[in-house]
Amino acid sequence: MDLDAYFSRIGYEGSPRQNEQTLSDIHAAHLMAIPYENLDIQLYEPKTLDEARFEERIVGQTRGGWCYEMNGLLSMALRRLGFQVDRVGGAAARAIVGDSAIGNHMVLIVHLDGRRVVADVGLGDGPLYPFPLEERRWDEDGFEFGLERIEGGWWRFDNHPNGLAPSFDFNEIPRELDWYGPQCKALQADESALFVALSMTFRRDRGRIRALREFNYIEIERGKREERIIESFEDYKETLEPLIDFELGDGIERLWERVSKRVAGREEASRQAAETAAVLPTPPSSSSER
């Protein structure tokens, strides 16, 4: 791995050491420099689990990425610096959908002087800094997070109340890249898969999160969340470009067309459902039945 190129990509100008300060500085720099995004999936460009591809895409092509790429690249850099890093199996939204989520998220556990620290630059709207592997709740620039042990050897990370991903679970078993393969394929397999059904871009700043999900622009700062709906292609382009900081060429037009078609389809389905509900007979109340 070309560490100098990676440090240039994330704007890190420190003198790296195998210590907590270096880990914290690189983690924050990575998150603030590289957007979380799934735009390649939206443009029918398949993602693969390959370390060389992680570096080529995010460093060489200055693109963003999703959890496998973002945490995959960070773990490569940390290992190159001499850190002991375990890639472990995560499960975003397991609290909601159950064990089918296992493997849909990559989490990193970094070993530091007999302690273990969780590093995760692949959530999109999670903590800016790594955090110790211990039960706790904490505040980071107005964002409240939590970590707790749950049954079966799992941990549960609770995102801040305005988080778009409410939680993820993870255990402490080290995994190789190919272990994530089935979920990596499933998440981009068909129109019903989350990363196919929704276009998503996140940008993490110090004390602020900006996100564009379909045509919904969200800005969260110190516990306050504001939203607005994108109304035109010009608005879409002007909103998306500062979040990604890379050139998409005619990809922006193709994204606009795809998202527009999806949004129109959802609105039509909602309208038809409302019309159907309006003509259905109202069920009798329990008092009239008696």
| 247 assigned to some structural domain | yes
Nearby residues of 250 by Cβ (< 8 Å), 6 or more positions away? none
Return the closest-CA partner of residue 68 out of 147, 181, 236. Answer: 181
118 occurs within a structural domain: no
What are the strands of the beta sheet with 105-112, ordered from one edge?
Answer: 131-132, 115-119, 105-112, 84-92, 167-174, 154-158, 143-150, 136-140
CA dihedral 233, 234, 235, 241 (to 10 degrees): 100
Domain, as residue range, for 231: 194-277
The predicted-structure confidence for 203-262, as pLDDT tens digits, reads as follows 999 999 999 999 999 999 987 899 999 999 999 999 999 999 888 889 999 999 999 999
Other C-beta atoms within 10 Å of 186: how many? 15
Determine whether 193 is exposed, middle or buried from the number of CB atoms within 10 Å of its CB (0-12, 13-18, 19+). middle
Residue 177, pLDDT above cutoff 50: yes
Residue 160 scores a pLDDT above 70: yes
* Span 262-268, average pLDDT: 85
Average pLDDT of the chain to the nearest whole number = 92
Question: What are the DSSP calls for 1-38, one per residue?
Answer: --HHHHHHHHT--S---SSHHHHHHHHHHHHHHS-EE-
> Residue 288 pLDDT > 50, yes or no?
no
- Residue 135 tokens read as 């039960």
Residue 216 lies in a domain: yes
What's the pLDDT score for residue 245? 84
Quote the number of domains for the chain.
Answer: 1
pLDDT-derived band at 284 (thresholds 50, 70, 90) equals low
Longest Cα separation, the chain: 79
Query: Rounded to whole angstroms, how far apart are CA atoms 18 and 80?
Result: 10
By percentage, how much of the chain surpasses pLDDT 90?
82
Asked, for residue 198, whether it belongs to a domain, the answer is yes
- Distances in Å between the Cα of 284 and the Cα atoms of 222, 273, 276, 279, 290 are 48, 21, 18, 15, 10
C-alpha span between 201 and 212 (Å, rounded) = 5
Structure tokens that stand for 1 in this block: 């791995």
- Rounded CA separation 197/48 (Å): 19
In this predicted structure, what is the pLDDT of residue 286?
Answer: 56
234 lies in some domain: yes
As given in the structure block, the two tokens for residue 61 are 């092509």
- pLDDT tens digits, residue range 16-61? 999 999 999 999 999 999 999 999 999 999 999 999 999 999 999 9
Q: What is the pLDDT of residue 290?
A: 37
Band (pLDDT 50/70/90 cuts) for residue 193 is confident
Whether the pLDDT of residue 128 is over 60: the answer is yes
Answer yes or no: is 17 within a domain. Answer: no
In a domain, 155, yes or no: no
Q: Phi and psi at residue 100, in whole multiples of 5°?
A: -65, -15
Tokens of 107: 């989490």
Bridge partners, residue 87, by sequence: 108
Q: Which two tokens stand for residue 248?
A: 């998409």
Return the H-helix or E-strand segment holding 55.
Answer: helix 51-55
Residue 172 lies in a domain: no
